[in-house]
Structure 1
Amino acid sequence: MGAGQSKTSEDGDKVFYSETPIQFSEEVVHQLTDHISTTEPTRERQTSIDSHVRSRIQAELARLREEEQLVKVEIEQALEKENLDKEREMAGEETGTAEGVTGSLKSSTSLLGDLEDVRQKVERFHKRKDLEESPLLREKGEAVVLCYQSNPTTPLDCWRAVGEFKAAVSKVEQNYVDSLR
């Protein structure tokens, strides 16, 4: 009894036959075919995927912010060290031995020389500013503008005013070059 059903075939596979037919409701078949035909995950699955992706992004952002903060700290330390080195270098190589203390300080004569250089640069700056605001140059420029406004159809009549303006500009340029010496 039943010995025929449990016999193996030549290749070792067992085959079982069911006497009762298996039937599925149309609702189950439609649900299974809908899941196979759609490539989009279900709403619950999509929510789960989205929350997982968000958490990974937040973790990566936190890691990058920490790394950025470390880089900032390293840069600040390097800049501070570089500034200290420059300050020491600017302080000069002279060592003072007053009262047994040795240090890297610039002498007062060196500082006075630097102060005089700065004073001369400031004076040259003020001279250049005065040259730029020269009343003669401003007057000649306004004369050219007035000439062009009064002769809109014949601008060539303003050749004399333009020549005077060019001469004034040339004089200001020469004074500027002289101030740089």
Structure 2
Amino acid sequence: MGSGQSAPTERVFHNEIPISFSQDLVNRLEDNLSTPDTTPERQNTLDNHVRARIQAELARLQAEEVHVREQIEAVLERENLDREKALSGAGAGETEGGREDTTSGNVSSSALLQGDLEEVQKKVERFHVRRQLDNHPKVKDARDAVLQCYQAKTNTPLDCIDSVEQFKRSVAEMERQFVDSLRR
């Protein structure tokens, strides 16, 4: 069944009129067989076909490269997120001063960085408050008293010992307050 249909059959036609070719056509066909060069039209067609195939393959490779790059970026992003979660979770330990260790392998989460920034801002504000301790009224008054005494008693500066002692006590009090502020 069907074996006769799948086998190619050869048909031979017999021509009652003899076919003849002109000598010019035969010579041209012989020239084409003997010379391996192709005609410029045929060469252009071949070149265009090769260029089209190269462009198609290049486009396919570029699309594949983009796909692979996206996959790599996705995997790296997942790894970084996992690493950040591990660092912010049980992996982060306490360091000196009660501050958590936020970096490992140069990875920090933005929430931890925000907390560090707020801590630095608080320290700067405390520093500015400490600088204002220089304007302590007791120290200013004692300093002014020493200056007035020295100006009034230019010939006997040793008579200003009481005002100098008061100035020393006020400076000592200010220093104590300054040291206490550093401990906070």
TM-score norm. by structure 2 comes to 0.41
TM-score normalised to structure 1 length: 0.41
Structure with greater Cα Rg: 2
